[in-house]
Structure formats: C-alpha cells, structure tokens
C-alpha cells in the first residue's frame, strides 16, 4: 500500500528519472520547460552554488519568487545542498518577508531584482541575494562534492497561514513530506509517471510543495505550473488537452464550475481525477462538480503540521457527502473532548494525529511546540465527527467556533447554506461581539447582482438551519480574503466589521 521506494533523497530521485527519462518534461511554466535531465543538472549546479556562497548544512535559503520552474529548482537545490528551503509568498509585504528572514535565519535569498531593494531595507544581517533574472541556473557549472542528504533532518520550514496571530515556522523533513506521497498521492489519488498535472496552487504552501513539487519529482510525472490561479487561463490550458490530474482548493473548483456552466462547455474532458484540500469542500459543490464534468473530485483534509494530508476520500462510489474521507494508511487519528477522552462515533471532538508525517516542531517556538505536540499526538485544533466506518467530517475549528448564548455554531455550516441561495456567489461567516449573546454570526457575501437583504438571507437559511445559527447581519464584499491554501482569513473580516460599526 505505502510505496516506500518513493521515499528517498532528492539526489536519488533526480538521478533515477534523469537516467530513466532524460528527455521527458518534468516541470513547465509559461516561460520555459525543463526535462528531467535538465532538472537534475540545474538542481545540482544551484546546490553547489549555494554551498560556494556559504550555505552550511542546516542553513536556510529563502525562496521569494512567483510560481515558476525557477521556484521548483531553487527549493529542491536548497534541500539537495543539505540546507532548508523557506518559501515566502510572492506577494508578501516587506514586514512579512522580514519576519521570515529573521525567524528562520535566512542567509541566502533567491528572488528577482524588483525585490532587491526591499531585502536591502531589512535589518541586519541581511541575506545575500541570488537574482533569477540575472543568472541562468542552466549556465552554472556542474556540481561536485555535494553533501549526502539526511532525509530525516529538517529540510523545509513552511510558515502557517497566520489566520490568527503570528505565523509559526513548521519544520518538516523530506521523509515526512514524501511519506504523504507514498501513502496518499500514489495509492489513493493515483499519481503516475505518465500523468500530466495542471497545478494552479501557490507553491509557497505546504499542500503545493508536497503534491506539486516533491510528489511530481518522486513519481516522475510532468506538470504545468500556473503563475497564479485564473479561471480564464485555467480553462484555456485545459481546453488544449493533455492534462490528466488537477490539485486545487474548493474556491478554484467553484469558479471553474461556474465558468463552465455559463459557457456551456466541458474543458475538463480528458481529466481523470481532481483533488481538493486546504479548506472544507462543501458536499453540494462536490456533487455538482462531478455531475457536470464527469470527473471525480476527491476531497481531503490536511494541514501544514502534518506535511499536508491526514485524510482523503478514495476513488469509487463509497463516499459520504461532506466527508473528507478516511485516515491515510499508517496514520493514527483520534477525536477527543476537552478532557482528552475519546468521543463516541457521531460525536464532535478535536482531531488529533500521530504518524510519520507529523512535523518536527515549530521553529524557535518551544512552548507552542509543547502545546501542540503531546505524547506524540499533534493537536490540530480542528473539530470533526467520525461515523462508525471511519469517515471523518470536519465541522470547524475550536478557535473559529461562534458561541452564541452558549450554543456552538460552526461557520462552515452557515457558509454552505448561505452559498446555496440564488444570487450569492460566495460567502464567509465570522462571529462578532454581541452585548447580550456574547457572539453572533455575520455573513460576508459576494452577490452576482443586487445584494439580498439580511431578512431574505435569514429567511432562506431558516429553511435548513436552527434559529440560533441564522446570520445576525449580512455584508456585501468584493473579495473574500483567503490564504494561499484557500482558508478564509476570518480575523480580517472581523476587523472590517468592527471598523464598519465604528464608522
């Protein structure tokens, strides 16, 4: 079941595919395509360049680039050199990037000339720059004398989304990340060497770093990397044919479905399977997507601290609507109450996880690590229910729960209901302070046309939700703030609502 042959050092995987399929395209973007032979040369050469520039074993390399082939090479080279790859979102502001530079101790930064001034303005010690618009990786001399990789050491520090408070650097190893490929992407999702993957995912996120970088390398598949998700561009690429699999987040699949329905076309013809993770996938969207396109959309659940995946639905007909599936083979999961006691099937509890994919800890945050990792179990902070057959359904987050007059409300449940209302394109729900009830739910919505009234939204929701779950207010918004993984950044919506109340 678990393909242990796919868990190997980057050097081994590069050599394997360069020997077996040297002329096969490994990664491609809008500017260039790189074969497996070319990938092996560029990664090894850049790794040697890092070492020549002073990178020591365990040293951090910042990757501050847009989604691209260069991004992949830069990250893999850091791992190959025995260092640590630290992704930074391409649109990060100076303070966000500077925090990661200081926290991870980044001394080498791979970026572009337009960001050089921003890096120079950071506090000392500033990282040395490698500018991809001034150096061609292919022109670097062939590597010699690179260190032997230890796949159990930290090779990536991926910062959490930061939906609440200061981002934490999650320390992951090559083994933990490739274990997910061996236990999930290959045996369940069905990733194969002959697949051509279209990836619209932001590479700085662990989900993409896993499925769209390391797993492509491990399996020897081919991938086209979109610089950023665009419904129009994705449909144009898919219409050209040849793609077999698509990883994404719910929002991406939502907009692909809307656009295809409006045009009356099926750009996914030829696609075998899609997978969604990063945020809760509504059961209604899952069914509508599969019905319209005739393509399986497997829903899964994962977080950065577990090297991405914890559960995934298997292909076939045995699936539970709204469920994120079964725990991966070799992974232990439990649902516990506030007293750390296992809850009964069907009852809600906090999901905790133990297995080979759990993080090594949070960088420079001992107390946070001790709070999250107890006796080998990682406390996800996510609430879930499990049926007697083991199917898990995520119901919300402990910190995102809205407690209205002592009654718990899961934002995801209200969001799914509001989103079904005709004329509403998207929705996010947050809890806001209330003088007598403590908290009440407020819906932020994107409307297709005229904004429905609060009364109309409440009346629609009242058909399926208990009275205490109905939105207390509704606000029209042009764009719902989300992280790169698709999670709603709820604190921004709460702040916006507070400012609105003050104004």
Q: How many CB atoms lie within 10 A of CB 457?
A: 22
Domain end call among 125, 140, 172: 172
Q: Across the chain, how many H-helices and E-strands are there?
A: 15, 26
Condensed to tens digits (0 to 9), the pLDDT of residues 350-395 reads 999 999 999 999 999 999 999 999 999 999 988 999 999 999 998 8
- DSSP line for 265-291: --TTTT--EEEE-SSPPPHHHHHHHHH
Longest Cα separation, the chain: 70
Quick one: DSSP state of residue 132?
T
Cα gap 197→209, rounded to integer Å: 14
Cα gap 244→299, rounded to integer Å: 17
Per-residue confidence (pLDDT) for residue 168, from 0 to 100:
92
Residue 368 resides in a domain = no
What is the pTM (predicted TM-score) of this model?
0.87
Residue 501 has pLDDT above 70, yes or no: no
Three-class DSSP category at 406: coil
Residue 163 has pLDDT above 60, yes or no: no
Cα gap 63→115, rounded to integer Å: 12
Residue 482 has pLDDT above 90, yes or no: no
Cα gap 64→101, rounded to integer Å: 11
Residue 124 resides in a domain = yes
Peptide bond into 125 cis (omega under 30): yes
Condensed to tens digits (0 to 9), the pLDDT of residues 35-73 reads 999 999 999 999 999 999 999 999 999 999 999 999 999
Domain end call among 172, 205, 227: 172
Which backbone phi and psi does 131 adopt, to 5 degrees? -100, 120
- What CATH number is associated with residue 90? 3.40.50.980
Condensed to tens digits (0 to 9), the pLDDT of residues 407-427 reads 778 898 899 999 999 999 999
Mean pLDDT along residues 220-227: 98
Q: How many CB atoms lie within 10 A of CB 405?
A: 11
Which backbone phi and psi does 269 adopt, to 5 degrees? -60, 125
Q: Which helix (H) or strand (E) holds 352?
A: strand 349-354
Cα gap 186→197, rounded to integer Å: 13
Strand-pair category, 438-447 with 407-409: unpaired
Q: How many CB atoms lie within 10 A of CB 318?
A: 10
How remote is the C-alpha of 249 from its chain's centroid? 8
Strand segments, DSSP code E, in 143-187 are 154-159, 169-173
Q: How many CB atoms lie within 10 A of CB 124?
A: 4
Three-class DSSP category at 106: strand
Q: Which residues pair with 106 in a beta bridge?
A: 60
Condensed to tens digits (0 to 9), the pLDDT of residues 345-359 reads 999 999 999 999 999
Q: Which helix (H) or strand (E) holds 72?
A: helix 69-80
Structure-block tokens of residue 336: 């516990």
Domain that residue 471 falls in: 402-502
Burial code of 87-97, b = ≥16 C-beta within 10 A, e = fewer?
A: bbbbebeeeeb
Residue 263 resides in a domain = no
Cα gap 207→211, rounded to integer Å: 6
Cα gap 262→401, rounded to integer Å: 35
Per-residue confidence (pLDDT) for residue 2, from 0 to 100:
80
Cα gap 340→333, rounded to integer Å: 13
> Residue 304, exposed/middle/buried by CB under 10 A (0-12, 13-18, 19+)?
buried
Q: How many CB atoms lie within 10 A of CB 341?
A: 10
Residue 166 has pLDDT above 80, yes or no: no
Residue 240 resides in a domain = no
Residue 79 resides in a domain = yes
- Asked if residues 257 and 219 have their Cβ atoms less than 8 Å apart, the reply is no
Q: How confident is the model at residue 165 (pLDDT cuts 50, 70, 90)?
A: low
Residue 486 resides in a domain = yes
Number of domains into which the chain is organized: 2
Residue 443 resides in a domain = yes
Condensed to tens digits (0 to 9), the pLDDT of residues 248-307 reads 998 899 999 999 999 999 999 999 999 999 878 888 889 999 999 999 999 999 999 999
Residue 212 resides in a domain = no
Residue 483 has pLDDT above 90, yes or no: no
Structure-block tokens of residue 117: 């001034």
pLDDT averaged over every residue in the chain: 93
User: Which runs of consecutive H residues, i.e. helices, occur in 184-249?
Assistant: 206-208, 215-219, 231-239
Domain end call among 172, 207, 235: 172
3-state SS, 436-503, equals: CCEEEEEEEEEECCCCCCHHHHHHHHCCCCCHHHCCCEEEECCCCCECCCCCECHHHHHHHHHHHHHC
- What CATH number is associated with residue 479? 3.30.300.30
């Amino acid at each position: 079941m678990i393909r242990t042959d796919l868990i190997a050092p980057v050097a081994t995987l590069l050599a394997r595919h360069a020997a077996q399929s040297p002329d096969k395209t490994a990664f491609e973007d809008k500017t260039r395509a790189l074969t497996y032979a070319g990938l092996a040369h560029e990664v090894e050469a850049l790794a040697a360049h890092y070492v020549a520039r002073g990178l020591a074993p365990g040293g951090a390399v910042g990757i501050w680039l847009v989604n691209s082939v260069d991004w992949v090479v830069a990250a893999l080279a850091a791992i190959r050199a025995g260092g640590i790859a630290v992704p930074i979102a391409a649109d990060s502001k100076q303070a966000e990037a500077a925090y990661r530079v200081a926290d991870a101790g980044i001394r080498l930064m791979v970026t572009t000339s337009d960001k050089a001034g921003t890096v120079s303005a950071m506090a000392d010690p500033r990282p040395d720059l490698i500018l991809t618009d001034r150096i061609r990786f292919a022109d670097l001399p062939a590597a010699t004398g690179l260190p032997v990789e230890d796949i159990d050491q930290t090779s990536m520090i991926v910062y959490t989304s930061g939906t609440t408070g200061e981002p934490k650097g999650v320390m992951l190893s090559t083994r933990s990340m490739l274990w997910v490929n061996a236990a999930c992407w290959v045996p369940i999702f069905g990733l194969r060497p002959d697949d051509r993957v279209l990836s619209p995912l932001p590479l700085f996120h662990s989900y993409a770093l896993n499925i769209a970088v390391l797993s492509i390398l491990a399996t020897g598949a081919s991938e086209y990397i979109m610089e950023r998700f665009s419904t129009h561009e994705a449909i144009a690429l898919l219409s050209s044919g040849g793609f077999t699999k698509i990883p994404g987040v719910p929002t991406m699949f939502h907009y692909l479905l809307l656009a295809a329905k409006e045009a009356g076309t099926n750009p996914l013809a030829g696609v075998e399977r899609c997978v969604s993770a990063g945020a809760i996938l509504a059961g209604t969207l899952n069914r509508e997507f599969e019905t319209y396109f005739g393509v399986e959309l497997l829903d899964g659940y994962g977080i950065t601290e577990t090297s991405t995946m914890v559960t995934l639905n298997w292909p076939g007909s045995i699936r539970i609507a709204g469920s994120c599936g079964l725990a991966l083979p070799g992974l232990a999961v439990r649902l516990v109450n506030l007293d750390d006691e296992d809850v009964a099937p069907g009852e809600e509890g906090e999901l905790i996880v133990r297995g080979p994919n759990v993080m090594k800890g949070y960088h420079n945050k001992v107390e946070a690590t001790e709070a999250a990792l107890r006796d080998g179990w990682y406390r996800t902070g996510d609430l879930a229910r499990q049926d007697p057959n083991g199917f898990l359904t995520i119901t919300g987050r402990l910190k995102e729960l809205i407690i209205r007059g002592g009654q718990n409300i899961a934002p995801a449940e209200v969001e799914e209901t509001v989103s079904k209302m005709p004329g509403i394109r998207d929705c996010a729900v947050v809890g806001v302070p209330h003088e007598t009830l403590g908290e009440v739910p407020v819906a932020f919505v994107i409307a297709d046309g005229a904004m429905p009234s609060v009364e109309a939204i409440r009346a629609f929701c009242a058909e399926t939700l208990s009275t205490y779950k109905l939105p207390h207010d509704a606000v029209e918004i042009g764009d719902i703030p989300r992280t790169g993984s698709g999670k709603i950044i709820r604190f921004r919506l709460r702040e916006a609502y507070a400012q609105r109340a003050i104004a």
